[in-house]
Amino acid sequence: MFDFVRQHTKIMMFLMFLLIIPSFVLFGIDGYNRMREKGEVVARVAGHDISKGEWDAAHKAEADRIRASSPNVDAKLLDSPEARYVTLERMVRERVMAEAADKFKLTTSDARLARDLQENPTIAAMRLPDGKLDMDRYRQLAASQGLTPEGFEARVRRDLSARQVELGVIASGFSAAGVADLSLNAFFEKREVQIANFLTTDFAAKVDPSDAELETYYKANQALFQAPEHASIEYLVLDLDAVKKGISINEADLKSYYDQNVARLSGIEERRASHILINAPKDAPAVERQKAKALAQELLQELRKSPERFAELARTKSQDTGSAEKGGDLDYFARGSMVKPFEDAAFAMKKGDISDIVESEFGYHIIHLTDIKTPKQRSFEELRPQIEADLKTQQAQRKFAETAEIFTNGVYEQSDSLKPVADKLKLEIRTASDVTRKPGQGVSGVLANAKFLAALFGPDTVDRKRNTEAIETAPNQLAAGRIVQYFASRTLPFAEVRAVVRERVVSARATELAKKEGQAKLAAWKAAPASAQLPVPVLVSRDQAQGVNPAVVSAALRADSSKLPGMIGVDLGTQGYAVVRIDKIVARAAPSAQAAKQDRDQYAQWWTRAEAQAYYGVLKERFRVEFLAPRPARGSTELAAN
């Protein structure tokens, strides 16, 4: 066959041309890419699919963002099915709002986009002392999200347009005081109750199962007594620290970096100033601003005559309550700590100077520069460890992609051992025992990564003892592993789990006894109320449970209050049973005027949120939203997504 191909190369090329080229003409390369990348569809909005690949990428980006802002967050929470479904619901919501913005012709002007970018605190922190934007840092911000600056701005524009969809509902949300009070009074209403608890723990001593009963339970519930599959493994981790170990910096580069960055590395100049502020917000009427400026001008003239009175006048005249009592003192600050007009003036002054009137968004300032703290230039030897660490980090970041490719190819091409890659990249082969599909208690790092564990227990790895592929377990971190010894799941012998079996049987029987006793007492006390043996009453409400079981509080508040006193039974699940006598209703105490206003405002927010959610529900129907991925079994996560 291969001889025929070699001998008739031109004929084969012609046939391939006839078969393949027309397909590209009809569908295009993009069509092939879309078919290849589309994958399983997990949701659909207005006929547009969301693929599993898009979902995975979005969840990875969200998890990376959370890990970056909260390094101590439990990785298992981020990789849980519930967390992943929250990401999908967020994606669907964003698509719905984008569709609605397009349908309703809601656009964002260049001026509105520019204003939003200017007000963004992350971007504001990138401004240089002259007020210009540090474009290198701005590009890095966009690149960290996989975007160009233009793409980043386009996404912000889309987000602003989509935000307008709900703005009409949110901005117009309100609740009449009468309606709010009626609902809040009912919500915070109290019940005086007497509670008799029949707890499982109180009946446990009455249960003494025989060995035969225990064995019967064990045989009927063997799925509860399984030792999970586990394995002894070896694995490699490639991260920036591992790459740094192979990097050495020559002396010339260290000294060159020192010469270029000594001022920054030695520290930053700080200035200490006091000020007198006359408040005049930007949105204040022009007349008020003019009066404030005139008052500031009078104070400045007085200070020109008597500069030594600055602290005295600051205490009596400054409207900055935070600094006035300290004579206007603001302590030391560096560039970037103050609003720009104030900062520009302070860093242009000499020690002891008193400024002219400085206008900012807060009003009018008079500044007295009291001290300048200039950092002492540090020597090369002092800074050498820091410089070497900085340069190694920079080079490691540049080299990581190249090393990651070697790592990825190596664990795949020599899949029966990790040693060749470890030797080539000088990585340590780590080992672990009793590794399971799900992270164990207290496990962290690579061995807590669900994606890595799933690959580790894949068929090829378990059956053929192959290396896993290179798995990204964190930003700038790859891992690969292989199973050295595998132990399949098994049913634990009765002798090993006898104590656990007995505990389960006793708990189940004791719960039955508790519920039976509670139900019997409820029936008897309802028939003869005077015979009820109940503890002293307690006053409970939704916001003041007094340590009472939440299920009991909820049942007491939901019970029919038309005929009091009344008696109900509450099933506490595995905890047992409770009999609750509801004696009377206690109205909500009248709140103070301030508390009433706060409660009404909170109620208005709840109401507005409910209206926005209802509006979103209408939009979901209009744009034919379909969730094709099943919701995780552990209840709804939609509230978390919103």
Write out pLDDT tens, residues 160-209.
888 888 888 888 888 888 888 898 888 889 999 999 999 999 999 999 99
Give 142's pLDDT tier (boundaries 50, 70, 90): confident
Is pLDDT larger for residue 234 or for residue 152? 234
Q: What is the pLDDT of residues 22-44, one digit of tens each?
A: 443 433 434 434 433 446 899 99
Decide if 192 contacts 557 (C-beta within 8 A): no
Per-residue model confidence (pLDDT) at position 130: 67
Q: What is the predicted pLDDT for the residue at 6?
A: 39
Decide: residue 572, CB within 10 A, 0-12 exposed, 13-18 middle, 19+ buried.
buried
pLDDT value for 635: 42
**Cβ 447 vs Cβ 432: under 8 Å:** yes
> In the Cβ-directed half-sphere of 386, how many Cα atoms lie within 13 Å?
13
Domain ranges of the chain: 1-36, 39-175+591-642, 189-226+499-586, 230-240+392-488, 268-373
- What pLDDT, on a 0 to 100 scale, did the predictor assign at position 219? 94
Half-sphere exposure at residue 368, Cβ-oriented, CA atoms within 13 angstroms: 25
| Helix segments in 339-417, DSSP class H | 340-346, 380-413
Q: Using CB atoms within 10 Å of the CB of residue 141, give its burial: 0 to 12 exposed, 13 to 18 middle, 19+ buried.
A: middle
Tell me, what's the pLDDT at 34?
42
Average pLDDT, the chain: 85
pLDDT exceeds 60 at position 8: no
Dihedral of CA 616/619/621/627: which sign? negative
Q: Where is mean pLDDT largest: 16-20, 50-54, 206-210? A: 206-210
State yes or no: pLDDT of 76 exceeds 80: no
Residue 16 has pLDDT above 70, yes or no: no
Q: How much is the pLDDT for 128? A: 73
In this structure, the chain runs to a length of: 642
Q: What percent of the chain has pLDDT over 90?
A: 47
pLDDT of 598-621, one tens digit each? 889 888 888 988 998 999 999 999
pLDDT tens digits along 349-358? 999 999 999 9
User: What's the confidence (pLDDT) of residue 75?
Assistant: 64
Q: Please check the confidence at residue 4 and state whether its pLDDT lies above 70.
A: no
The 3-state secondary structure of 113-182, one letter per residue: HHHHHHHCHHHHCCECCCCCECHHHHHHHHHCCCCCHHHHHHHHHHHHHHHHHHHHHHHCCCCCHHHHHH
Q: What is the mean pLDDT of residues 135-162?
A: 81
Question: Which CATH homologous superfamily contains domain 39-175+591-642?
Answer: Porin chaperone SurA, peptide-binding domain (1.10.4030.10)
Distance CA(82)–CA(567), nearest Å, equals 39
CATH of domain 268-373: 3.10.50.40
pLDDT class of 456 with cuts at 50, 70, 90: very high
Summarize the confidence of residues 5-14 as an average pLDDT: 44
Residue pair 534/196 in contact (Cβ under 8 Å)? The answer is: yes
Residue 486 in this model has a pLDDT that exceeds 90 = yes
Per-residue pLDDT for 492 more than 90? yes
> What is each CA distance from 22 to 10, 18, 29, 58, in whole angstroms?
18, 7, 11, 35
Span 284-340, pLDDT tens digits: 788 888 999 999 999 999 999 999 999 999 999 999 888 999 999 999 988 878 888
Least confident stretch, 169-183, 501-515, 521-535, 556-570: 169-183
Phi then psi for residue 549, to 5 deg, are -50, 130
Cα separation of 642 and 637, whole Å? 9
372-427 per-position pLDDT tens digit? 988 777 788 888 888 888 888 888 888 888 899 999 999 999 999 999 999 999 99
Burial class (CB in 10 A: 0-12, 13-18, 19+), 517: middle
pLDDT at 187: 87
